[in-house]
């Protein structure tokens, strides 16, 4: 994956690349190292209104799949994380 660009990943278009770049995630390795939850938290800190679908999209990108195809268990885990962080 070292020669891949963020935009090569599923769910990561031009806007997502720009958003991630603003929070210091500039390449695939950085996204993989941070993980979906930490990357989402960085976006939330910057944007204050990052949605659940963004979290799903980041996880799907890491797994190499469209976010719609995430396992139901993973979606539930991410939704619980999202709700806990939004309340905090």
Contact 18, 45 (CB under 8 A): no
Give the pLDDT confidence score for residue 44 in this predicted structure: 96
pLDDT for 71 beyond 70:
yes
CA atoms within 13 A on the CB side of 27: 5
CATH code of 6-87, in short, is 1.10.150.20
pLDDT tens-digit map of 9-25? 999 999 999 999 999 99
Give the pLDDT confidence score for residue 30 in this predicted structure: 97
DSSP 25-73: --SHHHHHHHHHHHHHHHHHHHHS---HHHHHHHHHHHHTS-GGGS-HH
Q: In the predicted model, what is the mean pLDDT of the chain?
A: 95
What is the mean pLDDT of the segment spanning 39-53? 96
């Amino acid at each position: 994956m070292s020669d891949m660009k963020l935009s090569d990943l599923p769910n990561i278009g031009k806007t997502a690349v720009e958003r991630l770049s603003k929070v210091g995630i500039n390449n695939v390795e950085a996204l993989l190292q941070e993980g979906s939850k930490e990357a989402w938290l960085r976006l939330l800190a910057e944007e204050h209104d990052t949605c659940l679908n963004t979290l799903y999209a980041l996880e799907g990108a890491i797994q190499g799949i469209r976010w719609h195809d995430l396992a139901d268990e993973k979606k539930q885990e991410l939704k619980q994380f999202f709700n806990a962080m939004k309340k905090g």
